[in-house]
Amino acid sequence: MKSLSIRLKGRVAGKSSDFYPIHDLRLYSPERLPKHVDPGRTKNNRILFALGDLPKTKEEVANWVKTLEEENRQLFKHLKEMGVIAKNQGYKIARPYVGGILTLSHEAQKDLRQNGNLFNKFLEYATEYLQLLAKALGTDLLYAVAHLDETAPHVHFAFRNLSYKDPDPEALKKLGWEDLAPKLQKAKGKAISNLFHGDDGFNEINGVRDYQIHFSRLQDSLEFFRPLGFGRGVRKKERMARGEPYWKVINRSVRELHEDLPKEIKLKRSELAELEREVELKKEELEMLEREKNRLLEELRQTAKKEVEKFKEALANLSKNYEEFKELTTIFVDRATDEIETLKEEVKRLKEENETLRKETESLKNELLKAKETEKKLKGLEKAFLEEIAQVKVLKKKLIEFMQGNEPESDLGPRR
């Protein structure tokens, strides 16, 4: 499943308040660098966000923590002056910051390794998500850093361990926390490390206060990454309901591991004995399957032998049919050859007839042209003949007029 998980980290036993910044910002001296860190890849780590200047050396961390502690006290004092905190309430916050880690499932890590653009987009989302989370909790994101020098990429971060601002409505909306606004408003003046409750192995408390939120809601907010194809993991109750052992579901401390491991070893030994019994049963089943396999192989051999005989018989029939087909083919080819020769002669004759027709057509075309010329000449003669007839008619008219004693008028007028 392509999922993420977020966890707030408690104070490590035997470690000073400088521990997390030194670890997260890789401020170790070379000889103290953890064995699981690849020093050749530490340069690839990315600071995603920093509120002000971060310590650059291990020696600067103590001053950074001290300054943060003083800022928290001043903010706490201001809340008292504003009436948010009772006047007689003392400052009891043990740590000035609370660390956290954002991790990915194996499937999500695989996607990020194979897609550089998706990896960069994830870091952008992680930065925005942690800033929104700080605004929703009414505190500050102090830093966020991506560790790329370990086997699994992950993001470390730290919040100011004091809720001193009103929860941001827009941040609550984007995280799906609108219903938590009243609780977070009541949380002003409280330590961020004390805002969540539940069986998360981080903040074990007796009873739940009205401003506290179940740790599962923090996991729910990881749905913010859904556009990238990631989201929160399966809930602990669901994992246990489908049969996962309790030790796989929870995050445990070293002390709890010392208490639980002997029980788990005993359980594993019992499971191993059960597995060995299953192995013996599987061996028996395998032997039975081997015998069944040999029986089936023998049946297959006998069946194959019969099929081979049938095939040989069919092949002999096929050979006989082939000879007959070959003889018929020879006859057909001979006949076809004769018919082809006849067709060739016919084609030759048709070509000769076609040539004769072409010549006759050409002759007819020439005669037609001559006929058209003759027709044209006849039309000219007809026109001339008609003009002669018209002149004869005029002369005839004049002759008749003359014979009747009517001299025709000349073109110059009547005679006197």
Q: At residue 251, does pLDDT exceed 60?
A: no
Q: At residue 362, does pLDDT exceed 50?
A: yes
Nearest to 200 by CA among 5, 25, 348: 5
Q: At residue 244, does pLDDT exceed 60?
A: no
User: What are the tokens at 234?
Assistant: 């399966």
pLDDT digits (tens, 9 = 90+) for 367-385: 889 888 888 888 888 888 8
User: What are the tokens at 38?
Assistant: 């690849």
Q: How far apart are CA 56 and CA 304, in angstroms?
A: 80
Residue with tokens 């992950």: 154
pLDDT of residue 280: 80
pLDDT of residue 32: 82
- Assigned fold of 3-245: BirA Bifunctional Protein; domain 2 (3.30.930)
pLDDT of residue 55: 94
Q: At residue 239, does pLDDT exceed 80?
A: no
The neighbour count for residue 226, using CB atoms within 10 Å, is 11
Q: How far apart are CA 392 and CA 395, in angstroms?
A: 5
Between 392 and 285, the more confident residue is 392
- SS3 call for 56: coil
Q: At residue 135, does pLDDT exceed 50?
A: yes
Q: How far apart are CA 99 and CA 143, in angstroms?
A: 10
Q: At residue 290, does pLDDT exceed 90?
A: no
- The amino acid present at 7, given as its one-letter code, is R
Between 297 and 250, the more confident residue is 297
Between 32 and 271, the more confident residue is 32
Q: How far apart are CA 25 and CA 110, in angstroms?
A: 25
pLDDT of residue 408: 54
pLDDT of residue 131: 98
Q: At residue 416, does pLDDT exceed 80?
A: no
User: What are the tokens at 84?
Assistant: 């948010």
For the chain, state the CA radius of gyration. Answer: 55
Between 180 and 14, the more confident residue is 180
User: What are the tokens at 285?
Assistant: 């089943």
Note whether 61 and 19 are within 8 A (CB): no
Q: Is 255 left (phi over 0), alpha (psi -120 to 50) or beta?
A: alpha
Distance of CA 374 to the CA centre of its chain: 88
Beta carbons within 8 Å of 156's beta carbon, 6+ residues apart: 20, 23, 24, 99, 100, 101, 102, 144, 145, 147
In the chain, count of helices (H) and strands (E)? 10, 8
Q: Percent of the chain, pLDDT > 70?
A: 84
Q: At residue 47, does pLDDT exceed 80?
A: yes
- Per-residue pLDDT band for 64 (boundaries 50, 70, 90) equals very high
Q: At residue 13, does pLDDT exceed 70?
A: no
Between 49 and 238, the more confident residue is 49
- Per-residue pLDDT band for 254 (boundaries 50, 70, 90) equals very low
pLDDT of residue 160: 96
Note whether 216 and 202 are within 8 A (CB): no
Q: At residue 121, does pLDDT exceed 70?
A: yes
CA angle in degrees (0–180, nearest 5) for 98-150-64: 30
- Per-residue pLDDT band for 253 (boundaries 50, 70, 90) equals very low
User: What are the tokens at 374?
Assistant: 């003759």
Q: At residue 221, does pLDDT exceed 90?
A: yes
Mean pLDDT over the full length of the chain: 84
pLDDT of residue 401: 86
For the ranges 130-139, 255-264, 277-286, the lowest mean pLDDT is seen at 255-264
Q: At residue 252, does pLDDT exceed 70?
A: no
Distance of CA 155 to the CA centre of its chain: 24
- Per-residue pLDDT band for 151 (boundaries 50, 70, 90) equals confident
Give exposure, 161-184, as e/b (b: 16+ Cβ within 10 Å).
Answer: bbbbbebbeebbebbebeebbebb
pLDDT of residue 317: 86
Note whether 108 and 5 are within 8 A (CB): no
